[in-house]
Amino acid sequence: MSNWLEELEARLDQQLEGFLRTNPQQEELLRGQAARDRQRQLLAERVRLRQQAEEQRKQLLKLAEEIRQWQGRISRARTAGAGELAGRAEAHVAGLMDQGRQRWQALTDLGQRFASVEQELAELTSQRSSGPAATPDLEADWARFEAQQELQELKRRHQR
């Protein structure tokens, strides 16, 4: 059964290639549609990455606040002479700090993936800019502009 499907797929691929060779305008339309589909996928991925980065940022802020609270508790325990309790609290803070480092790394990874998506979007835009349609190019340029603005905003937030 597998061979039959493979033969059918190969035959269909050959017919499609033959059709596209004899109809180059259809091939161009097919490429354009594939590029538009990929651009839509990348735009959706960009939104998803942006949402994930925002969630990571919120979690980091929450974690930072929790660390501050525990550091205050450590200080109070030391002042009150509760060294054993302070030691346990310090171990807890160390664990929270590890979580923070992991979240920073995750945020860095998201930034790299975001940059990769942006690069691919820019490449698609430059490939499509040689085409005749102006409106899709304007949309792609606008999408790239918005992405750059959002990336700058994320960087600004994380530098605080």
- The 10s digit of each residue's pLDDT in 1-24 is 679 989 999 999 999 888 888 888
- Report whether pLDDT(132) > 60: no
First to last CA, the chain: 61
pTM (two decimals): 0.64
pLDDT given at position 103? 94
Q: Can you tell me the distance from the alpha carbon of 100 to that of 136, in angstroms, rounded to the nearest whole number?
A: 41
> Which of 61-75, 86-100, 122-136 is predicted with the least confidence, judged by mean pLDDT?
122-136
pLDDT given at position 87? 96
3-state class (DSSP) for residue 75: helix
Residue (of 89, 157, 97, 145) closest to 121 by Cα position:
145
